[in-house]
Amino acid sequence: MNTKLFCAVIFSFFAFCESVCPNGWVRYEHSCYHFGHTAYNFLDSQRHCEHYGASLVNLESKDESDFLKGFLMLLSDQQHWIGLSDATNEGIWTWYPSEKRAEYTDWDHGQPNDGTGGNCGAIVASHNYHWVDVPCSRQFKPVCELVDDESIIVG
């Protein structure tokens, strides 16, 4: 079902669709974003997001990437996981959980450069908030994304 229409018809009196993000999550366009407080390895970060019915963030446009970058610059944390991995096929970077190939990318100059030793994508302050490939065992904080369709149709 068309989410916007669904919202307009059912919830317009309550402005439900504008405030659907869970407490502590940040809205941008059609998603809610959560900035984890604890550092985990990549897979445990993904599990942390799945606990909320979300996934590590998928950055599919420059607008979304710029929003996230701006927000991360306000935080004191230096490193965050995004839902990007080339663990399945070296050099083919795909988003969790769709496995869709990343079309928009924001790699820092010279990245990715770690080959099979770097199969997970992160945004780090020391690279001016561009993307880097790093070992998936590193301990970074997760950025989770909950897309509206998923958050509204639950239950």
Q: Where are the beta strands (DSSP E) in 46-135?
A: 55-56, 79-85, 94-95, 120-124, 131-134
What distance in Å separates the CA atoms of residue 5 and residue 3, rounded to the nearest whole number? Answer: 5
User: Quick check: 114 binds Ca ion (CB under 5 A)?
Assistant: yes
Binder of Ca ion out of 106, 133, 145, 148 (CB under 5 A): 133
Q: How far is CA 1 from CA 108, 125, 149, in A?
A: 38, 39, 9
User: Quick check: 118 binds Ca ion (CB under 5 A)?
Assistant: yes
Q: Say if residues 110 and 128 touch (Cβ distance below 8 Å).
A: no
Of 106 and 148, the one with the shorter C-beta distance to Ca ion is: 106
Binder of Ca ion out of 33, 83, 86, 102 (CB under 5 A): 86
Query: How many chain residues touch Ca ion (CB under 5 A)?
Result: 8
User: Quick check: 132 binds Ca ion (CB under 5 A)?
Assistant: yes
Interface positions with Ca ion (CB under 5 A)? 86, 111, 113-114, 118-119, 132-133
